[in-house]
Amino acid sequence: MKLKQTSNFYSIYLLAFIVFSGLLLVQPVFAGSVSKLYESTIQVESSDTKNEQSENQLIAEAFTHVLIKVSGRSDVATSPSYDAMLKKAESAISQFRYDYRTAPLNGEDKTGAIEQQEEKKEKWFWVSFNPKIINDLLKEAQIPIWGKIRPETLIWFSQEIQGKRQLQGQHDEPEIYAVFKQQAEQRGISLIFPFLDLQDQSNVSATDIWGNFNDAILLASRRYQAQSTLTTRLFKEPSGLWVSQWNLLMLGEVQSWDIRDENLDRVLASGIDELADKLSRQFTQVEREGSDSGVLVQINNVAGFKAYQEVDDYLHNLATVKSITLLLSEQDRVIYLINYLSSKNSLIQEIRLGDLLNSVERSPVDNQQYGNASSDSTYKPVILSNLDDNNLSEREKSLTLLESSKGNAQMQAPNGAKQGTSATPMIAEKTVDRLIPELEYWLAR
């Protein structure tokens, strides 16, 4: 009897674990912070000391990889400033080392002796570069810097085999997905692969992918909450060439490209390269003298210093942000002056990538109602980017007032901040009440 109770308990425990694991799998996915942007690992081509790549060659290759990852541009080596940057590669190194890894065994080696297996080692060169030096080099070369907050892309992959088209997941074609993963890591982008379970199969089919039925594709993609969706179609021509067709669905637009090559790995890797290039062009801008502009941004639900620090760090890591100035920290809201690069729309799009800030939508009527804020300290909603002409003129007055008041700025620590902590100069209270932020967001957590 006790044995039966134990068995039942184990069954219930196992069922609960499976259900909980399933819930974890379907948690929303958001843009995240990409790590290891300033690191690179290069396989040393030969184990023969006399013939293997020199350390200078390895440093140059790793340095170029890092420049590509940080900028998001695959054509970095064609920049007029590339040779000058390359000369400073060695001085930009923070640390490096050589690693030895066991090489994958071929079929004939699996039955070999243990001593024979241990002899098959691969030599790898790992190097980490100083982020500040890399960033400064890119800025001097007028090459954009892509922040570590980057969109995640969901991939729907379909292949035509012997005239039959079918959706394929990473368990169906592990070697193809291995190329996707490796190239995405090389380029510093994040990919999401669908489960292709019963829910996915009922929502999207190979016919949707090949027919470019984007509404069905986007509907099925909502489950994963990725910021962009990529469809990939692969087939082989009678000539022997592999052909891949790619469609990127992002921000209401569709971007397409085709790649042909006799080598399958090159076809797949080149497609991911093109994806990375398109994403970086969308979310990065080249910093040019006099190109930055300012926008007033209000963020609500910022309660305490920890929340303020989270928002502040998030904004500083956006690629489109040149500088931020905290103007007000009052109750549960903060107001920033954000100087952005190139366009305000790029800033809005980049903020939209993350799950930290949710945009607050209001009608022009609400904007007019709250446009003339009184000088009391109660919270008042503020206007967004859908300004009418009157509100736009008020915003311009606010920015003018801000510039004229900088000399009289006072120091005020954010809510919950201890005295003596680093704070940003803010405009006197009466002046802040007359500022009209153009964008408003709500801290989601």
Say whether pLDDT at 418 is over 50: no
Q: pLDDT exceeding 90 applies to what percent of the chain?
A: 51
Q: Give me the sign of the Cα torsion angle 344, 346, 352, 357.
A: negative
Q: Are residues 254 and 376 in the same domain?
A: no
Q: Which of 51-60, 72-81, 112-121 has the highest mean pLDDT?
A: 72-81
Q: Are residues 46 and 123 in the same domain?
A: yes
d(CA 329, CA 298): 10
**Within-domain flag for 45:** yes
Higher pLDDT pick, 383 / 395: 395
> And the tokens for 178?
């291995």
Say whether pLDDT at 428 is over 90: no
CB 231 within 8 A of CB 246: yes
Higher pLDDT pick, 33 / 5: 33
- How much helix, strand and coil, in percent to the nearest 5, is found in the chain? 40, 25, 35
Q: Are residues 302 and 205 in the same domain?
A: no
Q: Are residues 176 and 301 in the same domain?
A: no
pLDDT at position 369 is 44
Q: Of the residues 77, 112, 140, which one is the last residue of a structural domain?
A: 140
Higher pLDDT pick, 444 / 267: 267
**Within-domain flag for 41:** yes
Q: Choose the weakest-confidence range: 41-50, 60-69, 384-393.
A: 384-393
**Within-domain flag for 255:** yes
Say whether pLDDT at 283 is over 60: yes
Mean pLDDT of 71-99: 96
> Which H or E element spans position 236?
strand 228-236
Mean pLDDT of 227-256: 95
For 16-59, write each residue's pLDDT tens digit.
444 344 433 333 334 556 889 999 999 998 655 556 679 999 99
Say whether pLDDT at 1 is over 50: no
The amino acid at 56: N
For 323-351, write each residue's pLDDT tens digit.
899 998 888 999 999 988 767 887 887 88
64 CB burial (10 A radius; 0-12, 13-18, 19+): middle
Q: Choose the weakest-confidence range: 79-88, 106-115, 151-160, 372-381.
A: 372-381
Q: Are residues 342 and 315 in the same domain?
A: yes
The total number of residues written for the chain in this structure = 445
**Residues contacting residue 84 through CB under 8 Å, at least 6 positions apart:** 141
Measured in degrees and rounded to the nearest 5, phi and psi for residue 176 equal: -65, -45
Q: Are residues 324 and 428 in the same domain?
A: yes
pLDDT at position 349 is 79
> Which H or E element spans position 237?
none
Q: Are residues 270 and 298 in the same domain?
A: no
Q: Are residues 307 and 423 in the same domain?
A: yes
Letter string b/e over residues 139-158, b meaning 16 or more CB atoms within 10 A of that residue's CB: eebebbbbbbbbbbbbbbbb
**Within-domain flag for 431:** yes
> And the tokens for 409?
């700025």
What CATH number has the domain bearing residue 266? 3.40.50.10070
Q: pLDDT exceeding 70 applies to what percent of the chain?
A: 69
**Within-domain flag for 21:** no
The amino acid at 185: E
Q: Are residues 174 and 308 in the same domain?
A: no
Q: What is the extent of the structural domain holding 62?
A: 32-140
Domain tally, the chain: 3
What rounded mean pLDDT belongs to the chain? 78
pLDDT at position 292 is 54
Q: Of the residues 283, 304, 338, which one is the last residue of a structural domain?
A: 283
pLDDT at position 101 is 85
Confidence of residue 159 (pLDDT cuts 50, 70, 90): very high
DSSP letter for each residue of 293-345: EEEEEEEE---SHHHHHHHHHHHHT-TTEEEEEEEEEETTEEEEEEEESS-HH
Q: Of the residues 261, 283, 305, which one is the last residue of a structural domain?
A: 283
pLDDT at position 45 is 81
Higher pLDDT pick, 433 / 443: 443
pTM over 0.85: no
Radius of gyration of the chain, Cα coordinates, nearest whole angstrom: 27
Say whether pLDDT at 217 is over 90: yes
Mean pLDDT of 425-439: 57
Say whether pLDDT at 120 is over 90: no
pLDDT at position 320 is 79
